[in-house]
Amino acid sequence: MTRPSTDTVWEWLDAVPDPEIPVISVVDLGIVRGVAWRGETLEVAVTPTYSGCPATSVIALDIETALRDRGIADVAVTRQLSPAWTTDWLSEKGRAKLEDYGIAPPRPAGGPERCPLCHGVDLHRISRFGSTPCKAQWRCADCLEPFDYFKCL
């Protein structure tokens, strides 16, 4: 097999879903920090969304599996903790996918701009904690539906 370019590898990684929010890729989530060939080994650096994220090992395994399925025999997924991940690293495409999925994307102002379900703006926080530690639970007074808000980190 001819060694694929790092651009090609980035495209492949863009098809690897986040295990907790499967509509967004690990690339759109912004946790893949680098891809480089070191001799015959493909190194992929990943920054977890937070240091205790339970999905980190699953993400590493999913990345390794996706790349091995593409014919890369020697893959090393490394954890890069500095700089710490921030929601600023989410791609615009990823933010749109979150909203389409029913999760309000993060905003620096501290809360969702609108309901991802009906786009209403009369919103109320139910809890600082949602379905995962990186999300909070909100409710829309217009459609009366609860929804997750991806917290700014």
Q: Which structural domains are found in the chain, ordered by start?
A: 6-87 (3.30.300.130), 102-150 (no CATH)
Q: Would you place residue 124 in the very low, low, confident or very high pLDDT band (cuts 50, 70, 90)?
A: very high
Reading the block at residue 116, the tokens are 């991802």
- Mean pLDDT value across residues 108-126: 93
- Specify the range with the lowest mean pLDDT, choosing from 6-15, 25-34, 90-99, 100-109: 100-109
Report the pLDDT averaged over residues 26-40: 97
Query: Can you tell me the mean pLDDT for 10-29?
Result: 96
- Separation of alpha carbons 59 and 46, rounded Å: 9
Distance between CA atoms of residues 103 and 21, nearest Å: 9
Q: Picking from 26-30, 63-67, 130-134, 135-139, which range would have the lowest pLDDT averaged per residue?
A: 130-134
